[in-house]
Copies of this chain bind each other. A is one copy, B any other.
Amino acid sequence: MSKRPMNVGILIFPDVEVLDFAGPFEVFSRTRLEAGPASRRSEETAPFRVFTFAQQAGPILATGGLEVAAKFGFADLPALDILLIPGGFGSRALLEDEALLAWLREAAPRVRQLCSVCTGSLVLAKAGLLKGCKATTHWGALDLLESIDADVEVMRDRRVVVDRVVSSAGVAAGIDMAFCLVEEYCGKEVADETARYIEYRRTPI
C-alpha cells in the first residue's frame, strides 16, 4: 500500500440510508496496521483517511432524520483514492441530477477504486459507469438496476461483487464490501483484526 493514507470519500445526500454510509465509514476509519485497541487512539497506523462529501459542504438529513454533515463540497474535495456511493431512497433523486452524474463521470477515471453500497449502484449505472460490469444492489432494486442499463451484468445472489467497480447488496452488505477493500489493500490479517476490534462477524460474500 501507499505510504500516505488513502483518501476515502463517501458521498452523502438527502435521504441517504444511515448504515449505507456509516458502516463503511466505521470500517475504514477504525482500520489500523497495528493490532489492538491502543493503536485506535491515534491516526499513526491508519491506512485510510475517510470523510463525507456532497455537492455542497454542510448538513444533510439522512433516512430516519439523522443529521450529518458533509465535510467537503465538490469545490474543495481532496483527491480521492476510493470513491464510495451509498444508497437509500434519496438515490432516486440522484438519478435525475445531471450535475452530479456529470461530476461522477469526470471523477471516476481519476480514482483508484469506485464502489457502491445498496442502491448507490443505480446512480453509477445511470452515469454509464457500470457498462460491461458485473454489479449488484439491494434485492428490492435488482430489476431497476437492469432496466437502467442493459449492459450491466446484474448479479442476483451475491453480497459483494468485485469487478472494475466494487458493489454490494443492501445496507449492511456495505460493511462486508468495505472489509473486502481493506483486505485488498492491507491484507486479510488487518481486515480480520479490524473486524474483531469492531466485533463484526464478516458474512461470506
Contact = CB atoms under 8 A, between A and B. Distances in A.
Contacts of A22: 18-19, 22-23, 26, 66
Nearest to A52: B66
A140 interface: yes
A172 B17 CA distance: 17
Nearest to A170: B199
Interface string A157-170: 00100000000011
Contacts of A36: 140
A198 interface: yes
A22 B10 CA distance: 16
B26 A64 contact: yes
Contacts of A40: 89
A37 B175 CA distance: 21
B64 A67 contact: no
Interface string A50-78: 11100000010001111111010000000
22 contacts: A18-B25, A18-B29, A19-B23, A22-B26, A22-B66, A23-B23, A25-B64, A26-B64, A29-B63, A29-B64, A30-B64, A37-B138, A50-B65, A52-B66, A59-B69, A66-B68, A69-B69, A138-B199, A159-B199, A171-B200, A172-B175, A173-B199
